[in-house]
Amino acid sequence: MKNTLEVGNRIRNVREALRMSRSVFSEKINISESYLAQLELGNKSIGMNTLIALCEYTGYSSDYFLFGKDVKDDLRKKIIRMVSILPEGALDLVYEVIRSIKAHNK
């Protein structure tokens, strides 16, 4: 039970960091809102398909969700994964933000 609660807490923390409701987040990872609630409360164990969907959507590794370990080298991978799922119109904005940050750090 302790492990499922820890996994649930990490899922909730990521969802809240993304400023998403359970309803929107569950839709994005293709699970029911009630299943997400059960995961976050530690009442259900995470399934493989849900874990994969979480990793693909958020950019976090399975090691992070399961064990709380997130390698700093994976930050670039996280960013790339997150950008890869954005709609085409949002990519222009991401490009401008990155270009602005790069110019500011010269």
pLDDT of residue 72: 57
The domains located in the chain, with CATH, are 2-104 (1.10.260.40)
Largest CA distance in the chain: 50
DSSP state, 44? S
Q: Which of 59, 99, 105, 55 is nearest to 79 (CA)?
A: 59
Identify the three-state secondary structure at position 17.
Answer: helix
Tokens of 4: 């499922």
pLDDT of residue 59: 82
Tokens of 103: 């110019």
In whole angstroms, give the CA distance from residue 15 to residue 101.
25
Task: Give the mean pLDDT per block of 10 residues along the chain (106 residues).
Answer: 88 91 95 97 96 90 87 68 80 88 84
pLDDT of residue 71: 61
